[in-house]
Amino acid sequence: MKMDYSKYRFTAVVDWIDLEVHTINRHPAWRIHEASAGAFSYVTGLDPATGVNIMQSGAQRENTPTSRFLVRVQNPPRFAAMTEALSSIEDRDPEAAVTVRSIEVSLDAYRRPGTTDEQLAEMAGYMLRGVNRPEGAYEAPRFFDWRGLTEQRHGRQAVESAILRGRTAMYGNADDPYIVRGYLKNYDTFKNDNGTAERRDITDLLQHRARVEVRLQGTHCPVATLNDLRNFQFQSLGKFFKFREPTNASEGVLAIVVAKMPSFGNTINGAGEAIPASRNRGRSRKSRPHTKASALNERARDQLRKLSCRWIFNKDICDKNSGADATVGDRRPPPRRRQPDTRITQ
């Protein structure tokens, strides 16, 4: 299965990060949310002793002050955005303690001019069927909608059709420590004043993208403290963004069999270690038969490296093309330009 990568523009982003905050003083969750001025997409008050949502503890209500919170920072472009978001809490409680609970990172394939919805769904299906899967997850992706209905889809056409209809696919369960999701992102979700979610279509077609996202939480979260997060190397997550595709030898009757395979990716655990898929002459085989590594792997690695650069250094050069989008395997940096002898004073 050969993909035309020239029809897409790739990037890796941090979708969101969940933090657990312990304060010295007690506050109602709504006050923490209000003081953040939109820096937190939501704030949940937790029972100080058990860590359970304060609304589910029975004895307490939404307005009950607490000293333990779960806060989410949505789409932080760099680490500085995390410290800015937390500044509203530090102003109230300078000795607040913060730990990282979960992180979600996405690989996006944006459409270029001339790319159709069908081609975007093709890329979403390609990534979804080829990506590494969590241990214990079904081989076929489970699709669900906003009503909570789920169904499994087998084969390329069935997967792409579900994606075009706005379905989201998942490997794993929502509370698992390692989850993979894939879908066509042509909308954003906002919270209304009454707290309900509202789905709004993205009108700029060039902002539509095929997305596969990896969520690591609890015991599988790769960072624990803000210091860990400050210099985190996102390319270390490359094992979760590896893809496989059918081999060129998959022709004839074999091609029909391969086309109906639920997925092609390897099964890995939360540490990124591959789980044997089969045995061949007494030896374990970690990759699935009739599959090979995808050229998308190099693009994913390149974009994760750029994400690390943006996250730590905040330099525009991090997003300049390193060559991987144009030529697979070309890791050479862009040529350095000689700077004029001009002194800039501020």
Is pLDDT larger for residue 263 or for residue 224?
A: 224
244-246/187-191 β-pairing: unpaired
**Any bridge partners for residue 283, and if so which?**
280
Encode pLDDT of 131-188 as tens digits.
998 987 877 788 877 666 677 676 788 888 889 988 899 998 888 999 999 999 987 7
Instruction: Determine contact, residues 109/210, Cβ cutoff 8 Å.
Output: yes
Encode pLDDT of 305-316 as tens digits.
999 999 998 666
Instruction: Determine contact, residues 260/157, Cβ cutoff 8 Å.
Output: no
Minimal CA–CA distance to 120: which of 135, 105, 106, 109?
Answer: 109
In the numeric block, the tokens 């002793």 are attached to 49
d(CA 272, CA 40): 30
The domains of the chain are located at 5-240+296-319
278-280/291-293 β-pairing: unpaired
pLDDT over 90 (residue 79): yes
pLDDT over 70 (residue 190): no
d(CA 64, CA 54): 8
pTM: 0.83
Average pLDDT over residues 85-102: 93
Encode pLDDT of 2-56 as tens digits.
789 999 999 999 999 999 999 999 999 999 999 998 899 989 999 998 998 888 7
10 Å CB burial of residue 167 (0-12, 13-18, 19+) is buried
Phi-psi region of 144 (alpha: psi -120 to 50; beta: other; left: phi over 0): beta
User: CB within 8 A of 313, min separation 6: which ones?
Assistant: none
